[in-house]
């Protein structure tokens, strides 16, 4: 005998239609780290061109920016995130503001153009020591 995790399965009825689901209750609760940009996200932002920085996404949806930053090296996962963000599979989704949507689309195009290249870290600039001034003379 199998046990069921949901009341609908236990009763033998089909799962509820997506338009009858209360997504606010289904969504995982927001954690403290979802409310601010995490360190890996700041590193990710430094590795992409400043012209495509998703400023509004980071300000209003840090959880999504953190999610993109953590997945950025995995082409399949990033593509799935973009698809999830830009396609309404739930029906009657409120959606993002125009600015945020444009930033997400711009990031998506950048990621597709780079074909999953793992962007190099920022270059470390070392001070040049003039010849003859370094020790010993």
pLDDT at 79: 94
Residue 3 included in any domain = no
pLDDT at 100 over 60: yes
Q: State the chain's mean pLDDT as an integer.
A: 74
Domain count, the chain: 1
In a domain, 39, yes or no: yes
What pLDDT is stored for residue 114 in this prediction?
75
How does residue 25 score in pLDDT terms, banded at 50, 70 and 90?
low
pLDDT at 99: 96
Residue 74 falls within a domain, yes or no? yes
Dist CA 32 CA 81 (whole Å): 21
pLDDT score, position 35: 74
- Span 84-94, pLDDT tens digits: 999 877 666 67
Which stretches of the chain are assigned E, i.e. beta strand? none
d(CA 61, CA 130): 48
Two tokens, residue 87: 């396609």
Q: Residue 48: give the domain boundaries.
A: 30-114
Mean pLDDT confidence for 3-31? 51
Determine, yes or no, domain membership for 55.
Answer: yes
Kindly report the pTM of this predicted structure.
Answer: 0.62
Among the listed residues 51, 50, 61, the one whose alpha carbon sits nearest the alpha carbon of residue 100? 61
Please check the confidence at residue 9 and state whether its pLDDT lies above 90: no
The answer as to whether 4 is a domain residue is no
Residue 109: which residues within 8 A CB-CB, separation 6 or more?
A: none
For the stretch 51-98, pLDDT in tens is 999 999 999 999 999 999 999 989 899 999 999 999 877 666 678 999
């Amino acid at each position: 005998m199998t046990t069921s995790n949901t009341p609908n399965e236990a009763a033998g009825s089909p799962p509820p239609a997506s338009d009858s689901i209360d997504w606010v209750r289904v969504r995982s609760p927001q954690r403290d780290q979802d409310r601010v940009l995490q360190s890996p996200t700041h590193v990710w932002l430094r590795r992409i061109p400043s012209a495509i920085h998703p400023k509004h996404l980071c300000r209003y949806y840090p959880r999504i920016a953190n999610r993109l930053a953590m997945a950025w090296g995995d082409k399949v996962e990033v593509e799935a995130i973009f698809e999830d963000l830009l396609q309404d599979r739930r029906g009657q989704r409120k959606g993002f503001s125009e600015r945020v949507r444009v930033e997400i689309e711009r990031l998506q195009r950048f990621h597709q153009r780079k074909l999953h290249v793992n962007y190099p870290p920022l270059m470390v600039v070392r001070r040049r020591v003039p010849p003859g001034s370094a020790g010993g003379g």
